[in-house]
């Protein structure tokens, strides 16, 4: 039989599991897999677990949120012998899983993955740190990692909205930056920065209408929003048109960008839904060689070029 390892974050998700872990063994056995479930206990565990797995593992499933998937992918990129990975969403937002067409039923999701196809996806890097779908910075971005876990377990994705309302009194900061794309230098002042390889960001579907996950490019969006009224207008426009067509957004598609902040940002970067801190004002974003993922068939034509 083939061998599968499920790396599970037991803290992910809104409510206590209604299924048993035996369900996972049974479904995977039906598709020819002998399965082991390994539970994470602390941040960073998934990355270490993947690095130490035997090279003969046929499939690694990240069962958790987007942060767990980031750790699994990061650990995999550090391996000499890369493994095939998949994501089984159990978190409160699950942008990557929903982008692939997965829903809320864990059993159906697992079946969809196992019936899927192996595709090669681009892996982005920020100062050599891999990320799967987004690196972003700006006020309110920290909702992804500062919203209390107890709120997320109780309210699910609504918890982020509730926590955001609580923070509405805060002012919106902007930052002067220098940046270079394809050896051309620019300057600007922006309050929000998004570097992404995804059609779905922060729970918002179809942020970009034509993203391809295997085109050796990532999307860059800079926006300078001064007031909360402007921010609400931006949210409305994102729900109406492609982000790159919004006049207030400076958009690029590239495989490299260097960003230098002239002053230290007031918030940390958010990398795939988790806080990322680094004591520097300079950031380099590049594309890493592709990683193999087993993905559902539903959105393959939409998301992949090849």
For residue 201, what are the β-bridge partners?
204
**pLDDT tens per residue across span 205-238:** 888 989 999 999 999 999 988 887 887 788 788 8
Torsion, Cα 47 49 52 53, to 10 degrees, reads: -120
Which pLDDT does position 89 carry in this prediction?
94
Which pLDDT does position 288 carry in this prediction?
86
Residue 98 contacts residue 37 (beta carbons within 8 Å): no
Mean pLDDT of 154-180: 72
Q: Which residue has the tokens 């987007």?
A: 66
Range from 38-52, 157-171, 226-240 carrying the lowest mean pLDDT: 157-171
Sign of CA dihedral 129, 303, 203, 247: positive
**Cβ neighbours of 246 (radius 10 Å):** 17
Residue 4 has pLDDT above 80, yes or no: yes
Residue 20 has pLDDT above 80, yes or no: no
Listed residue (172, 160, 170, 224) closest to 193, CA to CA: 224
Q: Do you know the residue count of the chain?
A: 306
pTM of the model: 0.89
Mean pLDDT of 18-41: 90
Range from 6-15, 155-164, 167-176 carrying the lowest mean pLDDT: 155-164
Which pLDDT does position 234 carry in this prediction?
84
Residue 216 contacts residue 255 (beta carbons within 8 Å): yes
Mean pLDDT of 68-76: 96
Residue 112 contacts residue 101 (beta carbons within 8 Å): yes
Residue 123's pLDDT band, with cuts at 50, 70 and 90, is very high
Which pLDDT does position 18 carry in this prediction?
47
Rg (CA), the chain: 19
3-state class (DSSP) for residue 227: coil
- DSSP-derived secondary structure for 154-174: HHTTHHHHHHHHHTTTSPPP-
**pLDDT tens per residue across span 241-294:** 888 889 889 999 999 999 999 999 988 999 998 889 889 999 999 998 789 999
Convert 45-76 to b/e letters by CB count within 10 Å (16 or more is b).
bbbebbeebeeebebbbbbbbbbbbbbbbbbb
Domains of the chain, start order: 2-115 (3.40.50.10330), 129-289 (2.60.200.40)
Listed residue (265, 284, 204, 213) closest to 239, CA to CA: 204
3-state class (DSSP) for residue 232: helix
Which pLDDT does position 168 carry in this prediction?
64
Residue 58's pLDDT band, with cuts at 50, 70 and 90, is very high
Distance CA 140, CA 146 (A): 10
**Mean pLDDT of all residues belonging to the chain:** 89
């Amino acid at each position: 039989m083939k061998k599968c390892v499920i790396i599970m974050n037991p803290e992910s998700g809104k409510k206590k599991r209604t299924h048993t872990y035996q369900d996972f063994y049974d479904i995977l056995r039906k598709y020819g897999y002998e399965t082991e479930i390994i539970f994470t206990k602390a941040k960073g565990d998934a990355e270490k677990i993947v690095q130490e797995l035997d090279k003969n593992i046929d499939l690694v499933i990240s069962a958790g949120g987007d942060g767990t998937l980031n750790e699994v992918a990061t650990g995999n990129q550090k391996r000499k012998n890369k493994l095939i990975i998949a994501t089984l969403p159990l978190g409160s937002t699950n942008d990557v899983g929903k982008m692939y067409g997965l829903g809320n039923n864990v059993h159906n999701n697992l079946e969809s993955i196992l019936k899927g196809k192996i595709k090669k996806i681009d892996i982005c890097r920020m100062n050599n740190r891999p990320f799967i779908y987004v690196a972003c910075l700006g006020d309110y971005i920290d909702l992804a990692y500062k919203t209390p876990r107890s709120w997320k377990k109780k309210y699910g994705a609504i918890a982020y909205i509730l926590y955001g309302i609580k923070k509405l009194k805060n002012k919106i900061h902007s930052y002067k930056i220098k940046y270079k794309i394809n050896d051309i230098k620019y300057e600007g002042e922006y309050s929000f920065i998004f570097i992404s390889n995804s059609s779905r960001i922060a729970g918002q579907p179809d942020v970009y209408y034509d993203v391809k996950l295997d085109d050796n490019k990532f999307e860059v969006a800079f926006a300078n929003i001064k007031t909360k009224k402007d921010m609400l207008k931006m949210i409305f426009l994102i729900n109406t048109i492609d982000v790159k067509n919004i006049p207030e957004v400076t958009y690029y598609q590239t495989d490299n960008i260097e960003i230098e902040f002239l002053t230290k940002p007031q918030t940390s970067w958010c990398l795939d839904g988790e806080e990322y801190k680094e004591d520097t004002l300079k950031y380099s974003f590049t594309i890493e060689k592709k990683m193999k993922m087993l993905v559902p068939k539903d959105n393959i034509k939409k998301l992949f070029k090849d």
